[in-house]
Each structure stands twice: as C-alpha cells, then as structure tokens.
C-alpha cells in the first residue's frame, strides 16, 4: 500500500478537526501556528505553500507539537513567541503568556504620557516578566519624547527573556532591567513620573480553579497574589508613594472581581483621582491613581 503524502492543506484540515475533537481552543489557528513553527513559515506563507508536502522529519516534529498541545501545553510555549501590541515577544515557561487584557494597561499609560508629558518621562515597572509592558511603551514613545524606563523582576530568568525582547524590538537603549523584589533594589532617592505594574493577583479562591493550561504550565510566581490576591497591591501602594514625583501616577492591572477590596486599600491622603479603565469585555481592568498634589 502506498504511504500517504501529507501536504500543508491536508494536514492543516486534519489537525484542526483533531483539535476540535480534543477540545483545544482555536483549533485552526493553533494548527497553523504549530505547522508554521515546524516548517519555519509564517501563517501567510503556509497558504502560499498549500501543496507543499511534508517529509518524514517534518511530520515527526509536527506530531510532537500536536501531542504537546493536546496534553495541555500552551501553543505559545511550544512555538516560543506571542504577539502583543503588534510586536513579537519571546515567551518561555519562565514568564506569563501575554494577554490582550494587558494592552488596556499599556494603552492607558501611553495615552496619559502623551497627554501630560512635555519632553521627557521616567517610568518604573514592577514585575516586568517578559517585558511586554515596558517594551511596548518604549517602542511607542521613544521617537516622540525622551523616555527612561526601569523594569524590575524578582526572577533573573524572566529578566533574561525581557532583555532579549527589548533588544529584538529596538528599545534596549531606553529600558534598563534590574533584579528586585518590589522596591528593595530601587534607589530610595529615585523619583518616577509613573509606576506601572501587572502584579500577581490571582487569589487562592480563583487559583485553585484555573484552567490546567495555565495552572500546570505558567509560573505560579507570576500568578499567585496570596490568599486574597492583594498582597502585592498592599506593598506597592504602601511603598510606591515615596518613589513618585509630585503629581506622579500609579497604574495597576487588576482583577475586576477584587475592585471593591482593592479600592478600600487606597490611602486617600496619599492618592487621589482614582479612575478605572475597562478592557474589551467591559470589565474594570486597570486602576489609575495620582499622587496627591502638594506632596513630595
């Protein structure tokens, strides 16, 4: 019996059906991502090579990717990258996979900087992970004004990924990366126009119910925010005030389910102009705070 020859068109159709049976999210797109990784082709070029046959080594590699995805491993870790803010970012199991919700945070910060900054801005990011927030902000603004960003993380492995992403996206000259647990390695005399953070905010209640593709593969260090999910907000709110310039701002990504509890933590003697920004699902996803005027 003649062995079947698989071309791009046929194997994509088969894989999409198989992923559908196995309840894999976005079956067709995932099939395209994995086959593109196998053949070193973009998704567009896959369709320009519809009749291209796969050889035995390519089939073997592609099958291994399919098995990894069906076992629950996120496609982004298999292919090693994820698009965010129209930029490409390397991702590994040392960092969270970028989510579209975080673009709400990036957008809010960029819009505020464009509105308020005259010619220069100094920004601190706490918990940078793969660097998507700092790199995206720097990429958007570096040609418009003088921008200086310090991006910190407790994980050296995460910082190594972030540094590579900054270099790949042409902003390694304006983003400085440092190992720091919150503010412990930030010079106490340093002042910033903005402090930005997407801290770990999954509470014990919600962490136990996370999908296994998240819980079993993404770093708990970057997800778990303590029993109530607010431990990092408490520390950043308590200490961040002293690192902000007069009228400086603090931007957080938040769990909209914790909005009321988080609001109760805000010291009204230190911060004012409390505002929330909604994500595409109309959930309150970003908290914006201003340092009270007249304070140093």
SS3 117: coil
The rounded Cα 290 to chain-centroid distance in angstroms is 24
All CATH 1.10.8.10 domain ranges in the chain, comma separated: 8-79
Please, which contacts does 263-270 make with residues 24 or more away whose CB atoms are closer than 8 Å?
Answer: 265/230, 265/233, 265/234, 265/237, 266/237, 267/237, 267/241, 270/241, 270/295
pLDDT for res 41: 93
Please name which of 109, 92, 72, 114 lies closest in space to residue 214, comparing C-alpha atoms. Answer: 72
Nearest Cα neighbor of 16 from 30, 4, 37, 35 is 30
Q: Which CATH architecture is the domain 8-79 placed in?
A: Orthogonal Bundle (1.10)
- Which residues 6+ apart lie within 8 Å of 65 measured at CB? 34, 37, 38, 78
As to burial, measured by CB atoms within 10 angstroms (0-12 exposed, 13-18 middle, 19+ buried), residue 210 is middle
Q: How far, in Å, CA of 240 to CA of 59, rounded?
A: 52
Instruction: Report DSSP letters for 223-275, one per residue.
Output: TB--TTS-HHHHHHHHHHGGGEEEEEEEEEE--GGGHHHHHTT--TTTEEEEE
Q: Give backbone dihedrals phi and psi of 275, rounded to 5 degrees, phi first.
A: -140, 150
> Looking at residue 296, what is its pLDDT?
54
Digits of tens for pLDDT over the chain (296 positions)?
346 789 999 999 999 999 999 999 999 999 999 999 999 998 889 989 999 999 999 999 999 999 999 999 999 999 999 999 999 999 999 999 999 999 999 999 999 999 987 789 999 999 999 999 999 999 999 999 999 999 999 999 999 999 999 999 999 999 999 999 999 999 888 999 999 999 999 999 899 889 888 999 999 999 999 999 999 999 999 899 999 998 899 999 999 999 999 999 998 878 988 999 999 999 999 999 999 875 55
Q: 290 to each of 51, 112, 243, 268, how far by Cα in Å? A: 58, 11, 13, 10
Provide the 3-class DSSP secondary structure of residue 132. helix
CA dist 59 and 8 (Å) reads 11
- The CATH 3.40.50.150 portion of the chain extends over 93-291
CA distances (Å), origin 104, targets 47, 107, 146, 280 = 32, 5, 23, 8
Burial classification of residue 211, based on how many CB atoms lie within 10 Å of its CB (0-12 exposed, 13-18 middle, 19 or more buried): exposed
Contact 39, 58 (CB under 8 A): yes
Give the neighbor-by-neighbor strand order of the sheet with 175-179.
Answer: 175-179, 146-153, 120-126, 192-197, 244-253, 284-291, 271-278
In the prediction, which pLDDT does 107 show?
Answer: 97
CATH topology of domain 93-291: Rossmann fold (3.40.50)
Helix (H) or strand (E) holding 23: none
In this prediction the pTM is: 0.91
């Amino acid at each position: 019996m003649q062995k079947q020859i698989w071309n791009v068109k046929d194997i994509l159709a088969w894989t999409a059906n198989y992923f559908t049976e196995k309840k894999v999210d976005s079956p067709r797109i995932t099939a395209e991502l994995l086959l593109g990784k196998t053949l070193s082709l973009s998704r567009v070029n896959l369709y320009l090579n519809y009749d291209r046959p796969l050889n035995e080594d390519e089939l073997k590699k592609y099958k291994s990717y399919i098995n990894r995805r069906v076992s629950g491993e996120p496609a982004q870790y298999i292919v090693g990258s994820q698009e965010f803010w129209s930029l490409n970012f390397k991702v590994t199991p040392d960092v969270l996979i970028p989510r579209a919700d975080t673009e709400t945070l990036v957008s809010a910060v960029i819009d505020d900087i464009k509105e308020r900054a005259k010619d220069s801005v100094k920004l601190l990011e706490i918990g940078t992970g793969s660097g998507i927030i700092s790199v995206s902000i720097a990429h958007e603004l570096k040609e418009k004004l003088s921008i200086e960003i310090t991006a910190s993380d407790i994980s050296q492995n995460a910082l190594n990924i972030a540094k590579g992403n900054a270099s790949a996206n042409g902003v390694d000259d304006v983003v400085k990366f440092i190992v720091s647990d919150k503010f412990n390695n930030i010079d106490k005399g340093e002042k910033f126009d903005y402090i930005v953070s997407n801290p770990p905010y999954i509470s014990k209640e919600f962490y136990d119910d996370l999908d296994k593709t998240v819980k079993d593969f993404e770093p708990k260090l970057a997800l778990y925010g303590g029993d109530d999910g607010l431990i990092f907000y408490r520390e950043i709110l308590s200490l961040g005030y002293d690192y902000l310039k007069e009228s400086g701002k603090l931007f957080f990504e938040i769990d909209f389910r914790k909005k009321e509890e988080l609001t109760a933590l805000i010291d009204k003697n230190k911060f004012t102009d409390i505002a929330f920004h909604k994500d595409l699902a109309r959930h309150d996803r970003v908290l914006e705070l201003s340092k009270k005027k007249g304070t140093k």
